[in-house]
Amino acid sequence: MSAKRSRLLIPSLLILTLGCLLASAISPIARAQSAGSKAQAGSTEMDVILFVQSLPMKDGPQGIHLVWIPQPIQRLCLGKTSQQCADIDYCVRTTNRDVSTCRNLGIPLSQLPSYPHGMIPARQLSVVFMHLSPDYFANLQEFFHRAPKASLEHLSMSARVKARVRFTRKSDDDDFEVLEILAVAPPF
């Protein structure tokens, strides 16, 4: 092979190699973008237990409030409202427990557990459904409407559902989306 020809071959091979590397890097990005909201980076589908509460609104129907409570504080939250449970959750996670929220919990701070690293969820998460069409989460709506209203005012083992959710871990906060209601608590 002549020297002139080998000098032309080397740049051609470099361009071809760079092109292949670029194409292989773009391909996963394009696949992820084409998947759209179906699959987000850092998201996982899982089956979880969510507590059901009613969320009274000033002008209109009540919202269905689904609350995902970290396992270590569930026993402390039973019989409390979701806001009281959120206060407990805050006091578990904060580095400064000398704030009015923590002082007014009604339970000794020494009884608060710690959260294990990497726990899912890392804090209390919730979602509110309002103005649902009759066929959207029909079993949840039926459960909500037949439940005694008093049972939906405080977190209770009898007011829970099993749901498939898409959990997304983010750098600034975690999030979840309810995909399907798999089961509801037995009738009251």
3-class secondary-structure state, position 72: helix
pLDDT at residue 134, as a whole number: 86
Sign of CA dihedral 147, 148, 151, 152: positive
The strand order across the sheet containing 125-129 reads: 125-129, 63-68, 43-55, 160-168, 175-184
Q: Are 47 and 182 in contact (CB under 8 A)?
A: yes
| pLDDT at position 19 | 41
Residue 40 is predicted with a pLDDT of 59
Answer yes or no: are the C-beta atoms of 125 and 175 closer than 8 Å: yes
Sequence-ordered list of residues with C-beta below 8 angstroms from that of 104, at least 6 positions apart, any chain: 87
| Cβ contact 111:76 at 8 Å | yes
Q: How far apart are CA 160 and CA 28, in angstroms?
A: 39
**In the prediction, which pLDDT does 74 show?**
96
Omega of the bond leading into 121 within 30 degrees of 0 (cis): yes
Rounded Cα distance, 138 and 129, in Å:
12
124 within 8 A of 116, measured Cβ to Cβ: no
79-95 tens-digit pLDDT:
999 999 999 999 999 98
The pLDDT assigned to 27 comes to 36
* Segments in the chain below pLDDT 70: 1-41, 187-188
